Amino acid sequence: MRMKTGKMTMLVALLAIMLLIQACGSGNGGTAAPTANEGEKTATNQPQAAAEADGELNIGFVGASEFPPGAEGWGLYTGIIQEELKKQGIGTINVTGLGTGPDLNEAVISGRIDLGTSGDAPSILARAAGAKTKVIAQPLIQNNSFLIGKKGGVATAKELDGKKIAVVKGSQTHRYLVGLLQKLDIKAEVLDMRGSEALPALARGDIDALAGVSYVLENYLLVHKEGYPLLGEASEYPDLYGTTSTYVSEAFLEKYPDFPKAWAEARAKAYNDLVAKPDEYYSFLAKNLGADREIVDKLYPIEDIQETALSDDGIERLRKAKEFLVNEGLAELDFNFDEWIVR
């Protein structure tokens, strides 16, 4: 019995020592599994952006459709851009089409729009007027403009000397028109008119010509379907080509400093997707624009879409557009161009 009692005493002592060692090992230096509360604390300490995508982005573009064309529109339509921006904590994206570049500028300046996509002239004029924006992309760098005459009117642009020409002032087409008149060494009465006013005025013969971008469906149909004379286009003078700018407010960038990179990556993913699915992309455009399928690939060829967010050629064209608008007194103030671009 004494032998058994001694053995029992030793076993109890060993068990006590083992329990003591285990208790010490569960401290800060140990490797014991965390409690339920500790596990929740670890998850809470992880980055919040992807898990709590409660940020909001308001996008504006020039147009009347549901989405803009190009990689941006395709990415928003398919949800590619939304999924990518959730990683930045942006869970809500609102997309609004506005009638003209100046309309978009007003929305950006007032703070209703965080990110705008428009022709180069509106983006430049907004910045020159004091809008605190940064350019983060150029979806297109070779925008063509048309100069369309009335039926039974002049046969050449040179004959427009002293005539009435309608254009949306402050648009990229306005810059084209001013530049063309200078090259032709003529003067004309330039009237500020939206397309909804200019088209009926041209049909009535109240104006002699209108200037507008070639990729607007109504302008394309005037020339190619309805027999209105094409008096000139920017492709005749490549320095008068327009570009498209994507610009974002500095206030938004303060909240999301990594947004330019995130946008470029999201746009690149959308671009690669649409290039791989051209038929689906053109079908989307046709439905989005309310145009025939065989027309949209002429209005918005995939080949015109820039693969990268920014390029040296596009930036140089934007720089020249800015210099032109400042030199002609169309821009209110000059500004530092290089600081405006986020490369």
Strands 230-233 and 145-149: antiparallel
DSSP state letter for 246: E
Looking at the domain 145-240, which fold is it?
D-Maltodextrin-Binding Protein; domain 2 (3.40.190)
| Domain 55-142+242-340 class in CATH | alpha beta
What number is the average pLDDT over the span 55-82? 96
145-240 and 55-142+242-340 share a CATH fold = yes
Helix intervals (H) in the chain: 2-25, 36-44, 70-78, 80-86, 101-110, 120-128, 172-184, 195-204, 217-224, 250-255, 259-276, 278-289, 293-299, 312-327, 337-340
For the chain, how far is it from start to end, CA to CA, in angstroms?
Answer: 88
- The token pair at 99 is 């009638």
CA distance 235 to 240: 8
Residue 17, pLDDT score: 36
85-119 pLDDT tens trace: 999 999 999 999 998 888 998 999 899 999 999 99
Do residues 119 and 213 make contact, with C-beta atoms less than 8 angstroms apart?
yes
Using pLDDT thresholds of 50, 70 and 90, give the confidence band for residue 46: very low
- Between 29-38, 106-115, 200-209, 331-340, the lowest mean confidence (pLDDT) is in 29-38
The Cα-based distances of 44 to 37, 40, 51, 256 in angstroms read 11, 6, 10, 21
**pLDDT tens per residue across span 312-322:** 999 999 999 99
Over residues 5-15, the mean pLDDT reads 39
Q: Enumerate the domain spans of the chain.
A: 55-142+242-340, 145-240
pLDDT digits (tens, 9 = 90+) for 215-265: 988 999 999 999 999 999 999 999 999 999 999 999 999 999 999 999 999
Predicted local distance difference test score (pLDDT) of residue 13: 40
Contact by Cβ (8 Å): 163, 209? yes
The residue-averaged pLDDT of 148-168 equals: 97
**pTM, entire model:** 0.79
